[in-house]
Amino acid sequence: MTAAGPPTDRAGGGPPAPPQLRFGVLLPLFGSSWAEVRDIALRAEAAGYDDVWVSDHLMAVPDPATTVLEGWTTLAALAAVTERVTLGTLVLASTFRPPLLLAKAVETLASVAGPRLLLGLGAGWLEAEHRAFGLEFPPLAERVARLEATIDALRERTPELELLVGGAGRRTIDLAVRKADWWNAPGDRLDELPALIERMRARAREEGREPGIASRVGVLLGDRPGEAETRLARRTSPWTRIGLGPLGLVGDPDEIARRIELHRSLGVSRMVIGISRRDLGEGVLERLAELVLSSNP
């Protein structure tokens, strides 16, 4: 995969030149065992992906009856079994853990993973999940304030750590511009990415700095033109279509390469790719690396 360094503060007008891209894999924590997640992470590392990422849920979405691995514990275990890949969270809910407690846990994990750790944070969004585990779910303004307090605690204890803020709202974009190294829009807002990037850049021009941009996409890889699009048309649930719209990686290798270039032209420098458990079992992880990602400049 093509490596890219961390983003730097940049001011002034006009969009930046298309960046180099890093490619990561969002690991399937819903319905998977630890052994399955570990093996997928090791396959991603062997295939040449730059990053592996975990989500942060205490109950599965949309079916709470599905088992789910807790994200922070999983990330710590991955730090011990991988060697090269960056380890990311997309994203930790700041409402799940007190800021200073999380900062202490991050400090400990950073001593294991070193510079491979990239911590993504969000304000939390699923009220039922909080209620099920006895956690408060305050109004949005309070949740964003908690997110900012978490960032400040992390900056104090681990100032060298790269931070990502995820969210499409005005408050979270503002926080990403002011205090994060990276910004990410949720996968269910992928088709709004061009407009959201413009909103972020307008705020960045005011602040005089701009985080790097990470996009969360789904993939459906077909061997022939139209094959993947036909598979997508069969998916009726919106949950199974997240990240698979016009900016998702849907199509044959040529079409997926074209869509990757769309992301690059928007200024995206990190792509986090979600692959279904079925496709993971059929080798799409390796095929995508071999057929598409390795050919990118």
pLDDT given for residue 293 in this prediction: 73
Closest C-alpha among 218, 281, 247, 286 to residue 26 = 218
CB-count exposure of residue 29 (10 Å: 0-12, 13-18, 19+): buried
CA distance 234 to 69: 28
Specify the pLDDT at position 208.
96
Quote the CA–CA distance of 252 and 257 in Å, as a whole number: 9
Give the per-residue pLDDT at 3: 40
Residue 161 is given by DSSP the state: -
Report the amino acid identity of residue 234: R
Counting every residue written for the chain, the total comes to 297
User: What are residue 251's DSSP bridge partners?
Assistant: 221
Q: What is the pLDDT of residue 20?
A: 83
Give yes or no for a contact between 34 and 69, defined as CB atoms under 8 angstroms apart: yes
All residues at 6 or more sequence positions from 69 whose CB lies less than 8 Å from its CB, including other chains: 29, 32, 34, 37, 54
Q: What stretches in the chain show pLDDT beneath 70?
A: 1-19, 294-297
- Helix, strand, coil in percent for the chain, rounding step 5: 45, 20, 35
**Burial (CB count <10 Å: 0-12, 13-18, 19+), residue 135:** middle
Question: What is the distance between the alpha carbons of residues 166 and 91, in angstroms, rounded to a whole number?
Answer: 7
pLDDT at residue number 7: 47
In this predicted structure, what is the pLDDT of residue 292?
75
For each of the domains in the chain, give its residue range(s) and CATH number, in order of start: 22-295 (3.20.20.30)
DSSP 3-state of 270: strand
* Angstrom distance (rounded) from CA 52 to CA 88: 6
Whole-angstrom distance, CA of residue 48 vs CA of residue 286:
9
pLDDT at 8: 46
pLDDT of the residue at 17 = 61
